[in-house]
Amino acid sequence: MFDIFFSHPNKPYIEHISNMFNEEDTPLERQVKRFHDIAKLKNSFQLYIRGDKGVDKNHSLLSAYLFLLNSDLETRDLLFGFLAIASHHANVENFFALNEDNRYIGRYCTNSKELLFLDEVLNSANALGFYEKVEGNLAQLEEHTKKYQKYIRSFKFKNSFDYRDFIDFKKLYASLIYADKFEAIFGIKKDKKEPIAKEILSSHIDAFPYHAKRDKFRKYVLNNFDASHKLFTLTAPTGYGKTLTALEFALAFKKEKILFALPFTSIIDQTYDVVCDIFKDIDIFKIHHKTDIDESVPKDRYSQVKFLMSSFSGEINITTLYQIIFALFGNKNRDNVKFNQFRNAVVIIDEAQAIPYAFRQDFIRLCELISEQMNTVFIFMSATMPMMSDKFKEISNLDYFHEQNRYVLKWLSLENGQESLMESVRDEAQTKHTLCVVNTVKKAQELYLKFRDEFECYCLNGYMTDNDKQGVVEKVSKRLKENKEKILLISTQSIEAGIDLDFEVGFREVAPISSIIQTAGRVNRHFGEQQGILYIFDDICEYSNLIYGDLQQISQAIFEVLQDGDVEESNILEISRLYFDKIYKQLESFYIEKEIEKLEFFDINRKIEALMDGGDFKQLIIVEPYDGFIKEIEMELLRIRKEEKDTFRQKDLVQSQVKKMLQHVVNVNKKEIDKFMTPISKVKYLHEMIYLSSGASEYNEEYGIKKYHLELEDSDMGFDF
């Protein structure tokens, strides 16, 4: 019926498949790529690709069946290939779902409507001259699937999969979908990129003013370079310049790309600006849920830029730990496109203690296997390093901790509770730049309102929009550098990781030791002559045990040591080790081991999501930054719907508007939203998104959405996307 077959509009089928092959492909990967789109050779799909939108375009399942009928691989690999092809336009389901009655290779799979096109596809494939010989009929399929059904039933009860099998499938699936999308968007074979020149960064750092401690640290780390090793830890106190040193160390491996994971979007933006200032001629992308693409990018280039950003395809990719976690564990198509980019990469995990302890062992095990199978280097960084396996090599000199004396931890007894705390803060804040960190948003707001008329006072918490939080950080940073009138910052955990602020004295409500050490890293951070003090005080929020749970209990024994005497920074490494050793022995385990044994891809993703996103008791709400902002968004959404005919382009442009709104969102307890006096409205054309009108009394840009008295407090813990 057709002289030429297309895989995509005006894209010859053979060209598409041929461009997807990579010299590093395994035989399994090559066969999966060869067969993944073979059902596109049916007439109805060829009509669809030429503009007839009313015909059957489905092709994944029939392509998977033809792969099954024409491959002679070992059974496990054959079933992995089948599942990868069947899922290449969807998300991956649990492995044993393959055997469900009416789907995949279950008892009634031969009833699939896809099989009506089997002979048609066979004729076209064999006439194409691309395949040696494609064979198969319903009787053969029934015979094959009965054999695989029996294998799956037997395997399910007699054997179990392991983490290596999980990575094997992820590699295969990710290789397929990445190659498929890249070729479809760019129309070319993906070439290898040249490694980034390490000398560019080295020259930049060499131009910095001499700093004895940082220069000594950098030299020590670089001297520990070992090209034969792939797993490293970089443990050093705050303020040593770990970020650029780790990046310089990573560049020495001469890999195709670097993935740099940080815990919060605000730190990503800072790091991205620094890296872009150093490297002018390479692709540097920042990837998180609020990253947007400039709409002025030409239409044909827009989808290319979007794909490169969302798939970690730059030479340097700066992203969140959240994104890395779902690239590792996720079953979604979009997450596994990212997983493919672990190949021949260096992955830097900053603030490694932020990996949730519930699945930290799973995370580490997956990284070990990826390093073996995908030629990947991992560098875990922190001032408070969790327990790692003995496969990781430390590249910093831990004696640096014993040489430090920037601060001392002191226990602060509160005879009169909060009133005693306020007296102590007031005394210090009159003559010193002061930081006070508490465990809940409500308490931070309460203290801020009590102090703001006495001092130049600022507030930082998770009930503020990103724009307002960043504004506070910039103002505080400027005032600290000017060092004129003393300032007071009242904060929640938002201050802890990566924010480069330096106070003379600090106060910290009881919390896990790792959090206390992170707060201490903001006291005399830049090696001032006078030793700083971080006062630790007992729970005034009355919810610390609820917020931190088991971690708080583990820290309790260490608090007793602190109550007996001061702890100098030089002794902080031992305390940190004791804390993480207790967590490792008492709390850490393989969180998804049972799901791994059955390769329950969907269930693994759901289990990690539940832990990361904290359930459904909170909701994102947009805080309209100025009157008319939402109206402008709605008008643009209407214009896109009316004028943009390309469905994919329309979806991208809508997502761009969503990301503009995400700059102004707060994740709020649903019970509190119910108590708002100002009516909550829905965004037209995006009814799942709600907003609080500009000027509403419930929000104050100085300290965020005002807390209400509820039985359950909100902590400020959580992940950026």
Q: Tell how far CA 406 is from the center of its chain.
A: 32
609 burial via Cβ count (<10 Å: 0-12, 13-18, 19+): middle
Residues 124 and 237 both lie in one domain: no
Q: Are 313 and 283 in contact (CB under 8 A)?
A: yes
Span 352-373, average pLDDT: 96
Residues 31 and 112 both lie in one domain: yes
Query: Which is higher by pLDDT, 27 or 271?
Result: 27
Q: Are 42 and 120 in contact (CB under 8 A)?
A: yes
Q: Are 318 and 286 in contact (CB under 8 A)?
A: yes
Residues 433 and 542 both lie in one domain: yes
Residues 20 and 116 both lie in one domain: yes
- Say if 187 falls within a structural domain: no
- Count the domains in the chain: 4
- Say if 340 falls within a structural domain: yes
Q: Are 365 and 350 in contact (CB under 8 A)?
A: no
For the ranges 40-44, 52-56, 449-453, 707-711, which has the lowest average pLDDT? 707-711
C-alpha–C-alpha distance, residues 139 and 686, integer Å: 49
For the ranges 88-97, 513-522, 675-684, which has the lowest average pLDDT? 513-522
Mean pLDDT estimate for the chain: 89
pLDDT at residue 713, rounded to an integer? 45
C-alpha–C-alpha distance, residues 266 and 155, integer Å: 47
C-alpha–C-alpha distance, residues 432 and 424, integer Å: 12
Instruction: Say what percent of the chain tops pLDDT 90.
Output: 61
Q: Are 432 and 486 in contact (CB under 8 A)?
A: yes
C-alpha–C-alpha distance, residues 137 and 353, integer Å: 55
- Among residues 385, 423, 441, which one has the least CA distance to residue 507? 423
Residues 371 and 432 both lie in one domain: no
Residues 512 and 618 both lie in one domain: no
Length of the chain: 721
Sign of torsion, CA 633 637 640 646? positive
- Say if 16 falls within a structural domain: yes
- Say if 599 falls within a structural domain: no
In the numeric block, which tokens belong to residue 72?
A: 């002679």
Amino acid at 268: I
For the ranges 161-165, 386-390, 661-665, which has the lowest average pLDDT? 661-665
Residues 415 and 286 both lie in one domain: no
Q: Are 520 and 239 in contact (CB under 8 A)?
A: no
Please list the residues that pair with 378 across neighbouring strands.
Answer: 231, 347
Span 462-474, average pLDDT: 90
Residues 440 and 509 both lie in one domain: yes
C-alpha–C-alpha distance, residues 256 and 346, integer Å: 8
Residue 503 reports pLDDT greater than 80: yes
In the numeric block, which tokens belong to residue 187?
A: 């129309």
C-alpha–C-alpha distance, residues 323 and 325, integer Å: 5
- Say if 318 falls within a structural domain: yes
- Among residues 35, 22, 721, which one has the least CA distance to residue 343? 22
Q: Tell how far CA 252 is from the center of its chain.
A: 25
Of the three residues 387, 414, 432, the one that is the final residue of a domain is 387
Q: Are 106 and 57 in contact (CB under 8 A)?
A: no
Residue 655 reports pLDDT greater than 90: no
Q: What angle do CA 365, 371, 376 make, to 5 degrees?
A: 135
Span 194-216, average pLDDT: 90
Of the three residues 100, 134, 160, the one that is the final residue of a domain is 160
Q: Are 555 and 513 in contact (CB under 8 A)?
A: yes
Sheet holding 567-568, edge to edge: 456-460, 487-491, 434-437, 505-509, 532-537, 407-412, 567-568
Would you tell me the crossing angle of helices 75-86 and 163-186 to the nearest 10 degrees?
Answer: 40
Residues 6+ apart with CB under 8 A from 495: 435, 437, 460, 489, 501, 519, 522
C-alpha–C-alpha distance, residues 620 and 719, integer Å: 14
Distances (CA, A) of 652 to 183, 292, 403: 19, 10, 52
C-alpha–C-alpha distance, residues 110 and 149, integer Å: 13
Residues 6+ apart with CB under 8 A from 80: 28, 168, 169, 172
C-alpha–C-alpha distance, residues 548 and 457, integer Å: 27
SS3 call for 348 = strand
- Say if 369 falls within a structural domain: yes
pLDDT at residue 55, rounded to an integer? 80
* pLDDT tens, residue by residue, 664-718: 999 888 888 988 999 999 999 987 899 999 999 999 999 999 986 433 344 554 4
- Say if 720 falls within a structural domain: no
Here the CATH number for the domain that contains residue 553 is 3.40.50.300
Residues 407 and 374 both lie in one domain: no
pLDDT at residue 300, rounded to an integer? 55
* pLDDT tens, residue by residue, 166-197: 999 999 999 999 999 999 999 888 888 888 88
Q: Are 364 and 388 in contact (CB under 8 A)?
A: yes
Q: What angle do CA 355, 358, 360 make, to 5 degrees?
A: 45
* pLDDT tens, residue by residue, 277-324: 999 888 888 876 555 555 554 555 557 777 888 889 999 999 999 999
* pLDDT tens, residue by residue, 580-622: 998 899 889 999 999 999 999 999 999 999 888 765 677 889 9
Longest dimension (CA), the chain: 89
195 burial via Cβ count (<10 Å: 0-12, 13-18, 19+): middle
- Say if 185 falls within a structural domain: no
SS3 call for 234 = strand
Residues 562 and 414 both lie in one domain: yes
Instruction: Say what percent of the chain tops pLDDT 70.
Output: 93
Residue 49 lies in domain: 6-160
C-alpha–C-alpha distance, residues 198 and 186, integer Å: 29
Residues 383 and 407 both lie in one domain: no
Residues 430 and 494 both lie in one domain: yes
Query: Which is higher by pLDDT, 282 or 38?
Result: 38
Residue 102 reports pLDDT greater than 80: no
> Would you state the torsion angle of the CA atoms of residues 360, 361, 367, 368, taken in this order, to the nearest 10 degrees?
160
Of the three residues 586, 601, 631, the one that is the final residue of a domain is 586
pLDDT at residue 15, rounded to an integer? 96
Q: What angle do CA 509, 429, 413 make, to 5 degrees?
A: 35
